[in-house]
Amino acid sequence: MLVRFWGVRGSTPTPQAENLRYGGNTSCVEVRINGRIYVFDCGTGFRNLGKHLQREFDNRPIDAHVFLSHFHWDHIQGIPFFAPLYESRDSFFSFHSSNRSRGLKHAIEDQMSDPYFPVDMTEMAAERHFYDLEEDRIAFDDCVIQTKWLNHPQGCLGFRLETEDKVLVYATDNEPGPPQFDKNVRQLAEGADVLIYDAQYLPEEYAAKKRGWGHSHWREAVNIVMESGAKELVLFHHDPDHDDACIDSMVQVARNHYPKVRAAAEGMEIQL
């Protein structure tokens, strides 16, 4: 299993110089299992993933499963700029997410409708299919993906990806507190090799003025790892106002409580 980070920022892209070491593109994580492509979220990092796939596959068709945790802008903004969607009619993209709002296909297409974007999804040549997800366990060719609801305004799904010998968890946009959601995220993380988890705020920021905004902090991330038996923690969904130095400091403090902590950065790869 190979994990690549294409976008790690929360809320809005931040292309400032002081953020460039960790990166300013919003959420997008690619996972390869035996050559098969699984993508988690389509923030602005999805654009660079598309450019990478164009170079890798050249004129060969691409087949990928794309999982959307939810439909807030920072998780879908890359879709209109993902070049492989416009190219080969032999390419095949399966989009998976919850149908709770107005429908998965409609939610994806809406951001490209008049007056928000100059072209709509009819310009896309690749074949696209849309599959509704709720809490479930779904078997694919090389893995099983389990989903559970997280605590976020309008809802958000967390994902546990299991192969025969490795487990990766992607659980972004989650606010601690409600017992059922706290239980859900710990069940997802149980025994995982890597937990990618929302650490948008500093604990003091969250306590002072961010309650109810749907995000977490490094202290809760460490609690989840220690209580679930996950092996490594990757802090994710960095706040737009947290520059590289702030994230460095966050990682260092978190390591005082649990040694295997790092912060997600664009271009970072994890081989499991």
* Amino acid letter, residue 90: D
Q: Are 45 and 266 in contact (CB under 8 A)?
A: yes
Model's pTM, two decimal places? 0.97
Mean pLDDT check: name the lowest of 12-21, 25-34, 94-103. Answer: 94-103
Mean pLDDT of the chain: 96
Question: Residue 102, class by beta-carbon neighbours within 10 Å (0-12 exposed, 13-18 middle, 19+ buried)?
Answer: exposed
- Does position 152 have pLDDT exceeding 90, yes or no? yes
Q: Is the pLDDT of residue 99 over 80?
A: no
Q: How confident is the model at residue 159 (pLDDT cuts 50, 70, 90)?
A: very high
How far is 49 from 248, CA to CA, in rounded Å? 25
- Percentage of the chain exceeding pLDDT 70: 99
For 202-212, how does the pLDDT look when each residue is reduced to its tens digit (9 = 90+)? 999 999 999 99
Taking 80 as the threshold, does the pLDDT of residue 197 lie above it? yes
Size of the chain, expressed as the number of residues it contains: 272
| Helix/strand/coil for 32 | strand
Say how far apart CA 221 and CA 218 lie, in whole Å: 5
Q: Report whether pLDDT(232) > 70.
A: yes
Question: Per-domain residue ranges for the chain?
Answer: 2-271
Query: Quick one: CA dihedral 4, 255, 147, 120, positive or negative?
Result: negative
At 102, the pLDDT band (50, 70, 90 cuts) reads low
Residue 167 pLDDT exceeds 80: yes
Q: What is the pLDDT of residue 106?
A: 87
Query: How deeply is 160 buried, as exposed, middle or buried, from its count of CB atoms within 10 A (0-12, 13-18, 19+)?
Result: buried
Starting at the edge strand that comes first in sequence, how are the strands of the sheet with 127-132 ordered?
127-132, 92-97, 63-67, 36-40, 28-33, 2-7, 269-271
Are 97 and 67 spatial neighbours (Cβ–Cβ below 8 Å)?
Answer: yes
- Average pLDDT (4-8) is 98
Torsion angle, CA of 99/183/33/56, rounded to 10 degrees? 60
Distance (Å, whole) CA 75 – CA 105: 15
> Mean pLDDT, to the nearest integer, of 68-90?
96
pLDDT surpasses 80 at 217: yes
The pLDDT confidence band at residue 245, using thresholds 50, 70 and 90, is very high
Of 200, 136, 195, nearest to 173 (Cα)?
Answer: 200
What is residue 12's predicted lDDT score, i.e. its pLDDT? 98
DSSP string, 42-106: -STHHHHHHHHHHHHHTTS--EEEEE-S--SGGGTTTGGG-GGGGS-TT-EEEEEE--SSS-HHH
- 2-271 fold: Metallo-beta-lactamase; Chain A (3.60.15)
How sure is the predictor about 101, in pLDDT bands with cuts at 50, 70 and 90?
Answer: low
Kindly state the average pLDDT of the residues 50-64.
97
